[in-house]
């Protein structure tokens, strides 16, 4: 594993342990050149998933991009990071177990929205505002009025 500080390829594992949900191995590493310490995670990848964008362009699925999007929505919210990580792992497992090599970006967005709805309403609205490309305050008002009704928005409503 390459050191993120100096780029040296010679690093040593000092500690390995499973994550809470046992879906990954957390490894603490130290660089033999600069002494820098860092953490890596090792996960099982069942299949390569390709994301089909609205434009038709195809890109490899990037778990880190999904994580950044979810964590941005959860910024300054009182949600345990482990719960967020479990939600993200669940989305990835769903995508890998679909049996399809190509998944629409829209489907990933809907899975993230469903997960965030269960974690935190504010993060859900934040993510939806970017996902649905809200451009006016009225967009928020109509979305919030849908949320306030006893009916949860269906995936059709979120498109």
Tell whether the model's pLDDT for residue 152 goes beyond 60.
no
Q: Report if residue 1 sits inside a domain.
A: no
Q: Report if residue 159 sits inside a domain.
A: no
Same structural domain, 32 and 85: no
- Show the domain range for 36: 9-44
Question: How far apart (Å, rounded) are the C-alpha atoms in residues 96 and 117?
Answer: 22
Same structural domain, 67 and 117: yes
Average pLDDT, the chain: 86
pLDDT tens figures, 39-54: 998 876 657 889 999 8
Place of tokens 């990037």: 62
Same structural domain, 113 and 130: yes
Same structural domain, 35 and 77: no
Same structural domain, 37 and 53: no
pLDDT tens figures, 4-16: 999 999 999 999 9
Tell whether the model's pLDDT for residue 154 goes beyond 60.
no
If residue 38 lies in a helix (H) or strand (E), which one and from where to where? strand 37-43
Give me the DSSP letters along 54-109. TTS-EEE--HHHHHHHHHHHHTTS---HHHHHHHHHHHHHHHHHTS-SEEEHHHHH
Same structural domain, 29 and 84: no
120 SS3 class = coil
Same structural domain, 72 and 20: no
């Amino acid at each position: 594993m390459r050191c993120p500080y100096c780029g040296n390829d010679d690093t040593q594992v000092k500690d390995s342990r499973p994550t809470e949900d046992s879906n990954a191995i957390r490894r603490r590493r130290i660089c033999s050149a600069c002494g820098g310490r860092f953490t890596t995670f090792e996960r099982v990848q069942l299949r390569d998933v390709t994301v089909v964008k609205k434009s038709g362009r195809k890109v490899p699925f990037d778990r880190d991009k999904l994580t950044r999007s979810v964590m941005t929505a959860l910024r300054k919210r009182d949600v345990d990071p482990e719960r967020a990580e479990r939600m993200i792992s669940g989305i990835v497992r769903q995508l890998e177990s679909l049996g399809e090599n190509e998944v629409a970006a829209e489907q990933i967005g809907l899975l993230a929205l469903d997960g965030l709805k269960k974690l935190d309403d504010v993060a859900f609205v934040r993510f939806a505002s970017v996902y649905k490309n809200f451009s006016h305050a009225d967009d928020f008002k109509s979305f919030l009025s849908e949320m306030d009704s006893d009916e949860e928005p269906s995936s059709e409503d979120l498109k």
